[in-house]
Each structure stands twice: as C-alpha cells, then as structure tokens.
A and B are shown apart, each in its own frame.
Chain A
Amino acid sequence: MSTSESEDSTGLLRTVLPPNQVDRVFDFCGENGWKLLALGAVVGALPPLLGLEQGYYMTVVSEMYLFAILALSWDLVGGQTGYPSFGNMAFFGLGAYVTAILVKDFAVAFPVALIAAGLLALLFAALIGAVVLRLRGHYFAIATLGVLLAAQQISRNLDITGGASGKILLQVPSGTVFYYLFFGVLIAEMALIYYLSNTRFGFILNAIRDDEEKATAMGFNTTYYKTAAWMLAALFTGVAGGTYSLFNTFIDPQTAYNGAWNVELIAMALLGGSGTVAGPVIGAFGLHTLIEFVETAFVGWQLVLLGGAVIVTVIGFPEGVVGTLREYASEMAYYERGGMAAVDSGEDTEVTADE
C-alpha cells in the first residue's frame, strides 16, 4: 500500500472531518460514557410517550434493539474474549422456546417465563461452554455451529416444541411493552458491558483474546473467566429470544435457530467495530436499517446483500466503523509529531489488520 495514494484519497476527508476532531470526540465519549448512556436511555424512552405506539416503524426500531442486544452479546465472547461463536442463536432459540412453551402450555405469566428462559439459557451455556470453550479457532467456530444445528434438529423432532410447524402465540402484550422490554434489556446490557470493560474482569477477557497462554501463565483461571462471559452472553441472548417469541407471535425451528441471523449479528458487531461497547450497537442499527430497506424494496435479496456485506466488511475494513475511526484519529497524532509519521502509520495499519 503506497502512502501517497491513501493521503490523496483522504485529503478531502481531512478538511471536512479533521482527525483531531474525531480524536476529541473519542476523548469526550471516553470521559462521559455514563452520561451519554443515560442520555441515550432518555431519548430512546421518549417515542412511545410522545404518542408513537404501534405500526411499522416502531416494529423496525424494536427489531433494531433486538439485534443490538444479540450483537453485543456475541461481541462479549467473540470480540472481547476472542472466541467467535457461530452458535449464539442456540441460546436465542432456547429462550424463545422456553418462553413460548411456558406461556402457552403452562399458562405461566410472561415475566416469569422470561426469567426462566434467561436462566435456562445460562444453564445451557454452562453445560455447552464446559465442552466447547476448550476448543479454539476453527474447531470452536464449527463446534458452536454444530450446537446450533443440533438444537434446531432436536426442536424439530420433539413434541413439546410443536415439531417443524412450531408454535403460534396469540395472547401477547402490546407493541409498546416489547419496545420497552427490548430497549430496557439493551440499556442494561450496554451499562453492564461498559462497566465490565473497565474492571479487572474485562481486562482479563481482553487478555484471553490477545494471548490465552500468557493470561494463564499470569495465574488467571481463564476457563472461569471465559465461561462467565459466555454465560452472561447466553443470559441476554436467551432473554432476547424469549421476548422475540411473543413479539413475533410465532416460533418454529427455522426462525428460532436461524443460522443466517447468527451471521447477521456477527456482521453487525464487525461492521460497527468488535471489542467495543458502541460498535456492535452502531453496526446493528446501521445494518438492520439497510437490510430492512432492501427487504421492502427488493424482496428476497436481503440475504444476498447480507453475504455481500459480510465479504466487503471482512476484506475492506475488519476493524469496523469504530475501529477505523479510531485509527483515523490516532493517525493524526503521528502527523502532528513529525515527518516519518506517514510511513509509521501505514505500517501500523497493516500490522493491526494482520492480527
């Protein structure tokens, strides 16, 4: 990659959006994370209060929150801990089925069923995690995909899950309830992960991602930490799944254990910037809006777009929006320091892309 070329192409961008400004935004966000989160919580809580209740757009926004929860949960293990799972939707499906069965067949109250769904997903994660978290790389990814597909097949063959035809749920709360439920879970998860990312727990997760053997050598029980992160992700994914089953009023093996969604949420986390709190949420909002648009404009092509988006993201900018911006911002610091900066930053970019 020649440096002069990249300098030319970013020349206009530099005048419109100076990197030091971006850097300042990052500093600001870093210092005021909690305030920004509170502000987001207030803004997000407003629409139903202002009279927007049902309808297409509220559904789309609720789904955006849902995907943000899923992407953030995936990122806790995939981005922060370095265990990219292709089977997160197994927890989603489990949560969805537990809630649907409890509400429909056992007439359990929805909130109770939701808690049960979360806890069962947690338990399932503990069991599965004990097995699959021993694997790394290719083996971990494929094993989790196997878990997802095995779960799908099992739910297709059991009577209690309604087999291949699934379950239809008719008595469901209004759209506003789901809006707040998805939103509340999302804010809670963002707050938790943001808090954790500045604690010992969060640092150890990152250490596991960077070099698990060194982390072990430093005396951390990595199995404990990665299993804890995995269970936490499962808890949120399970609750999201439980909420989704009633939100969607219908659940079957194909929607509950949806492999394409699993790729979608990975793409969201990557696109936004994995390993950060804001990244997966930004990616989820952006990609879901895009997919929703394609879905209405060109019916049937949304998954082609998804595949394309994944390929472009991975090849084009694997650091995602947040990562790329951060790099862009820090590049300026090099320029301000001195002449050789251009070369340095060029190498720096390649090194991070290779990791």
Chain B
Amino acid sequence: MAVTQFVVNGLLVGALFAAVAVGFALIWGVVDIINLAHGEMVMLGGYTSYWVLSLITGNAEGSPALFLVTVPAAIGVLYVVGYALQRTLVSRVIGTDIFLTLLVTFGISIAIQQLAIQAWSANPRSIQVSFADPSLVAAGLVIPKMKLIAFVGAILLTVALYVFLQRTRTGRAIRAVSQNPEAAALVGIDVEHTRAVTFGVSSAIAGGVGAFIATILNIQPQMGLIYTLKSFVIVVFGGVGSIPGALVGGLLLGSVEELTAGFVSSQWTLAVSFTLLIVLLVVKPNGLFGEGAEQ
C-alpha cells in the first residue's frame, strides 16, 4: 500500500516537473539553447502569484478561486520577461559556441536569483489556500486537494502548449523555425520574433507552474537551479522536442523521487536525481522517445 501512495504522490508532483520541463525542451528544440535560467522563471512565477495574492487579500492566503485568478497573472508577467530576455540578451549569442550560450543563461540565472534575494530576502514563502485540509481519501490513498489542483493545472498547461504548437498559426511558425530557420525566414516568418515568442511561452508555462508550486511546496530565490536540472533530466529521458516524452519523464522522475524519499530518506532525493541524470546522459543521451537528436 505504501508503494502505491508514494507513486501517487510522485505522479502528483511529477506533473509539475513535467510542465516545467516541457518549456525547457521547447527552448532547446526551437532556439537550440539550454536555458539555465529556466528555473528562475518558475521562481519568478511563484513570487508573482504570491505578491498578487498579497495585494488582493493583504496576506498570502485566499480561497482556491482567488488563487486561480493569480495564475494568469504569473503566466502573463513571465511571458513578458521571457520575451524580453530573448530579445535583449539571448538573441545575441544564438549560433555561437554552445558554451557561450550556457554561460549567458547561467549569468542571467545568477543575476535574477541574487536580485530576488535583495528584493524579497532569502526566506522561504508559501501561499496558503484556505481549504487545503482535509485531504481526499480514496481507496486508502491520501490525496491533498491542493496537490490535485496543481496536478490538473500542470497537465492543462502542458496540453495547452501541445495544442498551441499543433493547431495555431504561431505554433506552426514555431515548429517551422525549429525545423529550419532559413526556410522559415524565406516563407515570411519573422524568425527573431518567433524565437522570442517561444522563449515567452516557455517562461509563461514555467511561471504558471511556479504559482502552483508556491501553494504545495514553498518558494525561495535559490530554488531555480534544481528545477532547471530536473528539467534537464526529464528532457534527456524523454528526448529533445518531445512533449509526450517530457510528460512521461516528469511523472517518472516524480515517482522515483517520492519512492526514494519514502524508502530511504528525503535527504537523498536530490542526490538520486543528479546521479540518475549522469547515468541517463551516458546510457541514453537521445532519450527514450527522441528521434535521434544530434549531440
């Protein structure tokens, strides 16, 4: 029974990891950049939601409906942040050495992190949603309501991205730029703008997930790097540019972490994730679902 409970917990958290990773994979696939500042977008999204809720209610507590109103705010703010970052900084290193792009995004990551510490202090914060207890109990499994809402929210964001990429004009433009930027430019797509939109959409999803994370875990300025690395594990596992792969990878990583926490100790979850990352990179660098991504 304990195993099922751990797996359920893992799936609930894993959907959030997956939604973060999907955005990370999108930038990687379309702009060919590993965005080491991706985790900072999660952090900023969490803080946006936190501050909007504080503005409405006076403290960071509120009903579920009120909290859900703050999610679009986080998504909107982070879209602008992502778009601006790509347009002002990241676009300058596209096409140069891989290492330089990594370093620029790492620089952005450190700068955002430290500015956040200066602005909001390093103390962890969290959003209290009023109905959080008691949890749902179904067939002996305990499911906290807020985790369920976060799970559904994360899945919705992931599916929304998938539909956006497959069905809309902008989504098609993004896929075209990902496949061949020169040809895309030839048929009249504004490549620079499309890349910035990609960055914005990816950051926006991370921001929305950040808002959910603020309610079930907590947020603090230095939380970002861990989410970036988890995204990397998931993307490597699922294959670059594959949204279903990222979803499966996220759910799996969540389960592995919860099982580690349950059977060994919660202190070892990060060590296990990072070891898994290294092992995966060596054994299966193209992912389980990836279509032969070039190294």
Contact = CB atoms under 8 A, between A and B. Distances in A.
A14 B11 CA distance: 64
Contact of B282 (A135, A300, A309): A135
A149 B270 contact: yes
- Please classify the interface of chain A as helix (H, G, I), strand (E, B), loop, or mixed, using the class held by over half of its residues: helix
Contacts, number: 133
Contacts of B268: 153, 157
Nearest to A83: B99
Interface in B80-118: 89, 92-93, 95-100, 102-104, 106-115, 117-118
B281 A139 contact: yes
A131 interface: yes
Interface stretch (A63-71, A310-318, A339-347): A310-318
A117 B285 CA distance: 32
A326 interface: no
Given A132-B278, A154-B271, A304 B111 contact: yes
A213 B165 CA distance: 37
Contacts of B107: 263, 267, 306-311, 314
Given A143-B277, A311-B89, A354-B96, A149 B229 contact: yes
A142 interface: yes
Contacts of A147: 274, 278
A84, A150, A308, most chain B CB atoms within 10 A: A150
A24 interface: no
Nearest to A316: B92
B104 A311 contact: yes
A100 B267 CA distance: 23
Contact of A150 (B100, B236, B274): B274
B236 to A, nearest CB: 8
A315 B92 contact: yes
A35 interface: no
B104 A315 contact: yes
B118 A304 contact: yes
Interface of A: 78, 84, 86, 131-132, 134-139, 141-143, 145-147, 149-150, 153-154, 156-157, 259-260, 263, 266-267, 270, 300-301, 303-304, 306-311, 314-315, 318, 353-355
